[in-house]
Amino acid sequence: MNRKYSLKDKRKIEELVRNRQSVGNRYYAIYYQKADVLKIAVSPSRKIKTAVNRNYEKRMAKEILRPLLKGLGNVEMLFVIKPLASELGFAQKKEQIAFLINKIKKEIS
């Protein structure tokens, strides 16, 4: 995922969580709000045991998100990876994330 899409500001991330506009399932939670530009923060749960596994899940999520962002529009998102996501295969992860992104597209439109 390109660096220009990265959301790093702690206050904006806290604001996303406070606003409570979210979608989710057993594997992922996405907090979002409309914004001027597309920005995304990916945060794996600390309950995913090792840093190696957390970083792996983060890389996988970013790779899956990259092609799905084209039609999303201008949104700030906090993408939370839950511990159960590490049990899924790549195709299942892609399916779950695509479902949640499509849900966001419908709610924003």
Q: Domains of the chain: which residue ranges? A: 3-108
pLDDT digits (tens, 9 = 90+) for 11-37: 999 998 998 899 999 999 999 999 999
What are the distances in angstroms from CA 68 to CA 1, 10, 105?
11, 24, 11
Query: Can you give the pTM of this predicted structure?
Result: 0.91
For the chain, what percent of residues have pLDDT higher than 70?
Answer: 99
Element (H, E) at 75: strand 75-81
pLDDT digits (tens, 9 = 90+) for 55-69: 999 999 999 999 988
The dihedral over CA atoms of 60, 63, 67, 73, expressed in degrees to the nearest 10, equals 80
Round to whole Å and give the CA distance between 43 and 54: 9
User: Looking at the predicted structure, is the pLDDT value of residue 46 above 90?
Assistant: yes
Round to whole Å and give the CA distance between 71 and 43: 22
- Written out in words, the top-level CATH class of the domain with range 3-108 is alpha beta
Round to whole Å and give the CA distance between 75 and 89: 27
